[in-house]
Chain A
């Protein structure tokens, strides 16, 4: 299965991993990390915004968060999606 990721699990960062979803499945977002229970809605919104702006769908996006601000989450999501699209599976 094609996957791509970006980021780290270091403090104030997050690791975003993108993998192929079923056709027509839209976006499936999984969150893990200490703060995700509290911030899940805003984190999902941030990821969705980036995916929509990049025209990405039918993907599974998994976030391992270690206290990343929204702007970091967005930057890591963009990098992971760009890598997924570019075939870079780093």
Chain B
């Protein structure tokens, strides 16, 4: 299981950010060929991102590329350039039809085969930026085994909902709940949209607390300063870690002794609670203590 608390967008035509983004220690990077790149720079950005990927110095980050939408003429060229260069996944904007995921899966398979990359290795992160995309989130998330996360849009989605973004985020509340539900049903990660007000640290902290409580696994990031705040909110407290350790230790002991039931602090604990405790330890960076 990979932590995806923060996935930092890096403008695809900016060498400085592309080369240094990983130094801010996000869990993942999104090298952006879409909105961050002007139309007339698409060709140069594609070459630049490909070569930065080939160099491959990204620390421990999960490396993904946001390609141009499947309704543009760029997406296949984007894939041809970046998939053979070595990436963990593709972030696809404006997904609203499960059939597109099937087409994307086939196209990725062709490229992987030609490039000698294990079939199915390239994961897919779907941006759902329209009402239709959110409505069909579960179908989209299950349309291909490659889909590993779904992400709601921010600006585009609120425009499609005929509203606008507020400080409270009221307009996205229902969408976020639907998205987590679809993600859990499909067995993929739920990653949140960006927080656009880059100097509003308190607002960010509040929003991250909210989306964590809803069940999100992490958030897209547009400024490196947002990373430590998001990690802080997603990192379990000492008390949570200690409790999780006790639960996992008891589960291990029960498994070794061939017992089905687990008892912690005099109370019976069932399997979902053990799973949650394991996840707490993973989030705390203690994955070596996890049972499975």
Chain A interface residues (CB < 8 Å from chain B) = 6-8, 10-13, 68-69, 71-72, 74-76, 78-79, 82-83, 88, 90
Given known A-B contacts A71-B52, A71-B55, A76 and B16 have beta carbons under 8 A apart? no
Number of B residues with CB within 8 Å of any CB on chain A: 16
Contact B19 A69 (CB under 8 A): yes
Listed residue (B14, B41, B47) with the most chain A CB atoms within 10 angstroms of its CB: B47
Contact B15 A79 (CB under 8 A): no
Q: CA of A11 to CA of B52 in the docked complex: distance in angstroms?
A: 16
Q: Is the interface of B mostly helix, strand, loop or mixed?
A: helix
Residues of B within 8 A of A71 (CB): 51-52, 54-55
Min CB distance, A11 to chain B, in Å?
A: 5
The chain A residue sitting closest to B19, CB to CB, is A12
The chain A residue sitting closest to B44, CB to CB, is A79
28 CB-based A-B contacts, threshold 8 Å:
A6-B44, A7-B44, A8-B13, A10-B15, A11-B16, A12-B15, A13-B14, A13-B16, A68-B15, A71-B52, A71-B54, A72-B15, A72-B19, A72-B48, A72-B51, A74-B51, A75-B47, A75-B48, A75-B50, A75-B51, A75-B52, A79-B44, A79-B47, A79-B48, A82-B43, A83-B43, A88-B43, A90-B41
